[in-house]
Amino acid sequence: MTRTISFILNNEPYTLDVDIRLSLLEVLREQGLTSVKQGCGVGECGACTVLIDNIPVDSCMYLALWADGKTIRTVEGESRAGEISPVQRAYIDAGAVQCGYCTPGFIMTSTAFVEKYQGQAVDRELIRREHAGNLCRCTGYETIICAVESCLQEQSS
């Protein structure tokens, strides 16, 4: 059973016939967007995080056909004119990337966070809270939090 759905993916309009049984994660990977990782598959690790209408969602437990009419962002769409995004740059500068498997999901969560809290006073506890749905087994999180903090500081300065 398939349904025809239309959505905006990384600024490009798409119309696809999708099997109703597929998760958004599976459809995005079929489209070649392999930044979207399957980690746990049950909404605990956040490696499959994408932004749907600018809200972080675990694409492993989101039916692909729910994307109809939505705007989806993945890491593949975050660079502009050959330049990586400020959040991506901050992760590199802070040394927040080690094995890299969790990184695309983290980048999307951080991107939504930085956009939401632009210009507001944010403490580290809030950064931790709002990144609690993404697991990283390498970094110990400290560098990730530093990366997010530096993005907020850059924006306010």
**CA-to-CA dists, residue 80 to 45, 106, 129, angstroms:** 28, 19, 29
Total chain residues near other proteins (CB under 8 A): 29
| Contacts of residue 73, Cβ cutoff 8 Å, sequence gap at least 6 | 10, 50, 51, 54, 108, 111
User: Footprint of other proteins on residues 89-148 (CB under 8 A)?
Assistant: 109, 129-134
- Min CB(56)–other proteins separation in Å: 5
Residue 21 is given by DSSP the state: T
Q: Please identify which residue in 35, 49, 88, 150 interacts with other proteins, judged by CB under 8 A.
A: 49
At 63, give phi and psi (nearest 5°). Answer: -65, 135
Q: Please identify which residue in 16, 18, 28, 62 interacts with other proteins, judged by CB under 8 A.
A: 62
User: Footprint of other proteins on residues 5-24 (CB under 8 A)?
Assistant: 19-23
The answer to the question of residue 86 lying near other proteins (CB under 8 A) is no
Indicate the SS3 state at residue 46.
Answer: coil
Count the residues in the chain. 157
- The interface region with other proteins, picked from 44-52, 76-84, 87-95, 149-157 by CB under 8 A, is 44-52
Q: Please identify which residue in 14, 66, 101, 117 interacts with other proteins, judged by CB under 8 A.
A: 66
Task: Print burial letters for 12-27: b (CB count within 10 Å at least 16), e (below 16).
Answer: eeeebebeeeebbbbb
Which residues of this chain interact with other proteins, rule CB under 8 A?
1, 19-23, 26, 41-44, 46, 49, 55-58, 61-63, 65-66, 109, 129-134
